[in-house]
Amino acid sequence: MVIIAREASFDEAEIFELYDSVGWDIWTRDIAKVCRSLAKSHLVITARDESGHLLGLARTVSDDETICYVQEVLVDKRSQGQGVGRRLMEHLMERYAHCRYFILTTDHESTPDGAANHAFYRRVGLIEHHEQGLSGFGRRVDNS
């Protein structure tokens, strides 16, 4: 059984284990910052099993009127491919159904991570900006 719930306080060791399982080392270098980011988000939802083990989470930045930006969705490596990511995304899409913009940024499809993520986001019903005459712009990301 997977339990989806809103959470507002975060245990650094638990969050580290989750982010580390997907290899997000830019994030795990400063897990206190990740926990502050989670705490300052508009909404963080978690997926846990019946024993309370953290399987995944997703978080949003939003005005709850016009725009919802999905900043992260991740599922522990050992729990991927079992519908947990879909449950998290469907919860968010329903929660923010009233927002005109429901958007996110992910790696380009030409990268290994991007190819997997694009397949996932398409399966849950999202489309790329250019498919509806939109573009995304941003300051260059520092990946050092």
Ligand X SMILES: CC(C)(COP(=O)(O)OP(=O)(O)OC[C@H]1O[C@@H](n2cnc3c(N)ncnc32)[C@H](O)[C@@H]1OP(=O)(O)O)[C@@H](O)C(=O)NCCC(=O)NCCS
By CB under 6 A, is residue 108 in contact with ligand X? no
* CB-nearer residue toward ligand X: 65 or 77: 77
Candidate segments 8-16, 25-33, 34-42, 66-74, binder of ligand X by CB under 6 A: 66-74
**82 CB neighbour count, 10 Å cutoff:** 14
List strand residue ranges (DSSP E) for the chain, in order.
3-6, 43-48, 54-62, 67-75, 101-104
Distance of alpha carbon 81 from alpha carbon 90, whole angstroms: 15
By CB under 6 A, is residue 91 in contact with ligand X? no
Measured from the CB of residue 11, what is the shortest distance to ligand X in angstroms? Answer: 19
By CB under 6 A, is residue 80 in contact with ligand X? yes
Question: Helices 12-21 and 31-39: crossing angle, nearest 10°?
Answer: 100
By CB under 6 A, is residue 85 in contact with ligand X? yes
By CB under 6 A, is residue 117 in contact with ligand X? yes
By CB under 6 A, is residue 44 in contact with ligand X? no
CA 126 to each of CA 52, 68, 121, 132: distance values in angstroms, whole numbers, following the listed order: 30, 13, 6, 11
Q: Using CB under 6 A as the criterion, which residues of the chain lie in contact with ligand X when the complex forms? A: 22, 72-75, 80-86, 106, 113, 116-117, 119-120, 123
